[in-house]
Structure 1
């Protein structure tokens, strides 16, 4: 069998700078044999559980909770379902397969999770920039999103299943001048971080996988702020990739998700500087309104390019402040010690 090598070292920026909205957070998909009602009803509980894991962000938290009643009543939460042909991997080769897609009701799911006591990872999530070096069938190269490679498809599908926004490099002349195959395959974090600056991603990813299509082992490393975490995954390539991405999502989810407050709304007063025109004001309000845990925004005074706001949130304020800085729209004022003053980014 051909030898397969590519590397996976996850390097997280010290502070989360860029994020994207996951638009299919309450959607799940699975291959299906037919469009029969029997197959649809049989798959509904499994697809709902996929959504719960994606929304909560942490498989361990879901497994420790009792979601049996929610899953058993899966059809109650379906907004719509449809069928389509999707790309899947068969013997390391992309192929077409009929799939069932279900969209579940976001408010209904969130209310059920609140009753169960499970946290919710907001739909605004950090973007991951993924550099992948492959040494496969005698070829050494850095792959991009546009490459027709089964590894790209498997990584994208694994990230989509867990609601992780994924970026891949352009590998244009600028990238090629800053980063070599050896930089990525050996995890040269200095070179990788420098090449990644242009993308503004929150999470920078490089890598290491060894083995072949049938038997692979991936060693993962994550630097999250001042913490370094490592884990590994094994199996065929598709399984090893999904297990590794699952673990990444779990660790991110535990850091960034937050329980929906059962004690009612909390008001949080903040001040945002740098709001000097209507475009900036609209961008700020659109961002705040997109956050699931923000139920209302009360606008106060605007003076000297500083906007006073009172946010009505359904979350613990300290965890919310961490989320607020994640979207590359505002950042904490470095001269403020209260955690209540922010600056609108350009």
Structure 2
């Protein structure tokens, strides 16, 4: 859900400090870094890794599994080095020991990438993303178990890597003595979601994902599902896939991302009849940010202000109007805070110094 601001005074300023001071840095920290194992340090290998890394960052920002369907993204992928802030090589031991493996670590310019995507009117998955609490029962044929936060590292880390590449974070239950008393393997396997929902209350502000996977004894394939999801108050289910473990887990994570994204997506054109999109340049300080929000929420023609994105020094908002757009423009013209930016679309302003 987008945040709606109708606050004032110290509370608003505190919120703005949190949002302004941490939103962009958190975005960059979470979504900008990518690393891969590579065969060598050749230019061709580096170029391939940069294209792959840029696509992964775009997936995180958009919440779309195949962003290459968009022409603007294909253009970006032709010269991924434009969006690289830094890269370096690193040698590390393989997970299972043995020989060293070569890795390339890359940091991408998330603000520049977001700017290009928004200028192309592509959908960005904006706003804070809740952690996902995963209740998963596994049947390997000769062993049955629940995945907890400190057990069965291989499956857990595989799911973590998939989630990270999609821009989300997973939590696994502690499965301490209290949870062992309340939740048994068959509760998760059988999809008794009410029990799981009650047990999940200790993990505040999380999306709940619950389901099962098992290994088919006939062909040794993994079979996933059914899965249950609760995103805020929205409960839904889905069937799983069949095949190798990686694609089976990817399928459920991709579907979860799609459903989470649908609740928070900000796309140009996805605006109600009484809503308009506004862009304001020159927002480079917390104080400026506060002035703009307080000013807009005080206008007679404005019912609510929804913060959509902050790209560089440009603030993008969705305004819910009580009156028409003409009334809004007239009110702003009478004020002394905002100037119209010529040559741009409607409701594009610059903050006066």
Superposition TM-score, scaled by structure 2 size: 0.64
Structure with the larger helix share? 2
| Contact 1:30/1:101, CA 8 A, preserved across alignment | yes
| Contact 2:139/2:214, CA 8 A, preserved across alignment | no
2:124 aligned with 1:120: yes
What's the CA shift for 1:94? Answer: 12
The aligned counterpart of 2:264 is 256
Deviations 1:208-266 (A, max 9, x none): 22325952221234345345242432320012112321222122223223137996427
2:197 aligned with 1:206: no
What's the CA shift for 1:35? Answer: 2.7
Structure 2: how far apart are the matches of 1:237 and 1:214?
10
Question: What is the aligned counterpart of 1:57 among 52, 63, 66?
Answer: 63
The aligned counterpart of 1:32 is 38
2:178 aligned with 1:171: no
Select between 199-208 and 138-147 the one with higher mean Cα deviation: 138-147
Q: How many residues align?
A: 265
- Identify if the C-alpha distance between structure 1 residues 227 and 179 changes in structure 2 by more than 3 Å, giving closer, same or farther: closer
- Identify if the C-alpha distance between structure 1 residues 229 and 180 changes in structure 2 by more than 3 Å, giving closer, same or farther: closer
SS in 1 for 2:47: helix
2:164 aligned with 1:141: no
2:264 aligned with 1:230: no
What's the CA shift for 1:197? Answer: 0.3
- Identify if the C-alpha distance between structure 1 residues 137 and 98 changes in structure 2 by more than 3 Å, giving closer, same or farther: farther
Question: What is the aligned counterpart of 2:290 among 287, 297, 303?
Answer: 297
| Contact 2:84/2:106, CA 8 A, preserved across alignment | yes
Question: What is the aligned counterpart of 1:265 among 270, 279, 284?
Answer: 279
The 5 A counterparts of 1:235-246 are 235-246=243-254
Structure 2: how far apart are the matches of 1:129 and 1:68?
34
Select between 222-231 and 112-121 the one with higher mean Cα deviation: 222-231
What's the CA shift for 1:84? Answer: 4.0
The aligned counterpart of 1:44 is 50
Q: Which has the higher contact order (CA 8 A, sep 6+)?
A: 1
| Contact 1:67/1:116, CA 8 A, preserved across alignment | no
**Runs of at least 5 residues in structure 1 that lack an aligned partner in the other structure:** 1-19, 268-288, 290-294, 302-308, 319-346
SS in 2 for 1:109: helix
- Identify if the C-alpha distance between structure 1 residues 315 and 300 changes in structure 2 by more than 3 Å, giving closer, same or farther: closer
Structure 1: how far apart are the matches of 2:152 and 2:229?
27
What's the CA shift for 1:128? Answer: 0.5
Question: What is the aligned counterpart of 1:189 among 175, 186, 193?
Answer: 193
Larger Rg: 2
- Identify if the C-alpha distance between structure 1 residues 179 and 149 changes in structure 2 by more than 3 Å, giving closer, same or farther: same
The aligned counterpart of 2:222 is 216
| Contact 2:137/2:188, CA 8 A, preserved across alignment | yes
What's the CA shift for 1:162? Answer: 0.6
Structure 2: how far apart are the matches of 1:210 and 1:162?
24
Q: Calculate the aligned-residue CA RMSD, in Å.
A: 3.6
The aligned counterpart of 1:74 is 80
Select between 241-250 and 149-158 the one with higher mean Cα deviation: 241-250
